[in-house]
Chain A
Amino acid sequence: MAEIHPIIGDLGKEKQTLSWENDTLIYQEGTFTQSWELDSLQELKVQHLVGSIMLLGKIDDTEIVLLRGSLGQAREYQVFAQTVNTEITGKTQESRWDQIDDRCPKCNRLYPDPARPVCPRCLDKRSLFKRVLALTPPYSKKIALMVFLMISSSLVGLIPPYLGGRIFYDEVLKQGGKYSDRLGLVVLLMFLAELLILLLNVGQGRVNAKVAAQIAFDLKTQVFTAMQRLSLKFYNHQQTGSLMTRVNNDANHLQFFFHDGLPYFIVNSLRLVGVTVILVAMDWQLALMVLIPVPIIVFGIVKIRPILWRFYTKRWRASSRLNSVVNDSLSGVRVVKAFGKEDLEIERFSQRNERVFRVNQEVGKLTSTVFPAMSYFMSIGSLVIWGFGGWRVVKGSLTFGTLMAFTGYLWMLYGPLEFMTRVVEWWSSSMNSAQRIFEIIDSPEVLWQPEEPVRLQKLKGSVEARDVTFGYEEGKPVLENVSFKVEPGEMIGLVGRSGAGKSTIINLISRLYDPTSGQILIDGVDAREIDQKDLRRQIGMVLQETFLFRGTVYDNIAYARPDASPEEVMEAAKIANAHDFIIELPDGYETILGERNINLSGGERQRIAIARAVLHNPQILILDEATASIDTETEALVQEALERLVEGRTTFAIAHRLSTLRQADRLFVLDKGKLVEVGTHEELLRQKGVYHMLFTTQRNALSLVGVAG
């Protein structure tokens, strides 16, 4: 018997538990218990509500709520229901729900992103850092040079205050000083030191810029390569739109890490140590006085930064909301004008604009208070030096030059200090960026790949579904127990209301996804076992929205077979009824598409797509609303092209307009994820079932608007 963890109802103040022991379902709330024997149970089901979920049980033909819980429990509920159902039916349900833990095993914290088992707290930052560094070997010489330059520059940077303070006042200006007659030499030395620092900094910056940009470039390439390899399921989890932006941001973040972060860290640490050593060496008592305010300053910075940060975020949010209004009303300008809603848009704009104005004012007030206050507190440090040091100079126990050198070094202390308070935060966020990038690079191809895939050089084209169930999301099946068998060369029309599962069937056949349970067989072989390249090569698609890449007509048609000869491409275009209009384009087959002045109509784009498919010459063909966005006149041309294309290939066609599926050998009618009717157009009409209803509603609707059904 399968082991099941009890599940919890956590909506009320009191918790309830539901457990499964010895073939009995046991409900407990406080001291109250209720139980059901296996024999009385029929089925458990999880239902998602808006703010909660519930586990329903069918017991003795009545449905009851067994448990209600928060949405975070969805997976546990699902697993529980599935396991109990297995016990009820005695039939092991093959399940492929990804079993991901949603808690960090180390600290038991909930992962912030359930699809991403990464705990930001327990992230092994050190090994990540090593891996980031591992990206650098090709540039190790340059990096060594960079580090050398940085160290030199921080060391040389320590010289000027010493020269300008101690040497200048004590040895040059003072009578009887060591260099009292060599003012020129000392000034020259100071000049050289500054020049050297300048040169070192420039050199370091230049090397650095190159290396950092190179690393970011490498990372982006790696990520993009990885993204191409990933299955669609990955894109389902991640929001595709933000994905590339995120990757870009993360890569830039890492570039920043190499370009600014790392060098500053090295330079600043060296400076801090260097300055402290020099101060102590010159006069340890005075040094101690200088260092006393340091903790106070650090504390102040740590306290104030979150406040500032909060205001900056507020400002950022206000202005991005303002931008979104501008963006919205500009991209929707036709709607705005058509409805005459200019005033409303102006009103919306001014509201948000005013908010930006107010927040800006707040930020302005705050910063003009905080920053001067901060520098005031920092200057207290130099007051301490002037006071205590001055007193010692008067007393004669300290030279004036040392005092001047101290004030010089003091300011070299604060910059690095400020930076150091930020180091931890910056380090964590850089490593998090690195983590996210590596995550994409590392994420496995979600589609399972066999060790030794079955090679199918030439498909015959039979397609079979055996008891296929599939859902894009856990617990929400889109297809349920669908079975069918399609012979090579047969044309199948997929029919059903939107959301019935038509596109999903196509996604499964072309193996963009794998079924949750059940099998798809192609030529009698489980699609999962077939070499992906072989499969892709022999499945072709013509979709409603034809995506044309930027490039020539020729490139677009030859996309699947870039080595196709000009004749082959023309032949394909001819079959697709595309040759004639292509010839009339200014540069014929070499016209560049995607440029502003070349506007292809929907029908023309479609015929290019068909030509692409003809050249691709797939054994299995998928037509997804291929004629939906075309006017009636060109439709005949496209239809004719499609008929030629379909010839001899196993074809699955989705069409909203049922009349376009007349030539299909059989129609599959889907309703709410189930295959409900199969047959020819006439057979199905005679059955007077779902298809009959769909067909008559459509015919009536079309005749109403005067379109021939």
Chain B
Amino acid sequence: MGTVTVLTESSAEVAGDVVDGRVAIDASALTDAIGWQLKPEGLCQADVCVPVPDQAALMLGDRIDVAAAAAAVGRSSLVDAEHAAIAVSQPATARDTVVNGMQAPNLVLPDLDGNEVAMAEFRGRKKLLVVFASW
């Protein structure tokens, strides 16, 4: 088995292969890949489980199709077979919470020294989020 790169809010290298344009990984690697685990009750993250009525539809042989698992939790994806990579979107519900629900997510990003900073650390203050760049 080779290695595939799963690009979400971070980048994870997991054991797997690209088969006919689909990224196949062992079920045990799914948590590392997209943060969800396949259980009999569905795809689970901490105490939350999303029911998956047809678990067979997530499988490629005895392995998991990352794109299908991601789609089951509301995340779209695109595969770059040449570089054995799959980019996975944020959940549709997360975008809806911001744009329509007007609730700021707890975005976690590194500062310029590489220390992770969570937006939740600034709760209690009014905040101006400034998206900028050098370009």
A, B co-complexed: no
List residues of chain A with CB under 8 Å of any chain B CB: none
Task: Identify the B interface with A (CB < 8 A).
Answer: none
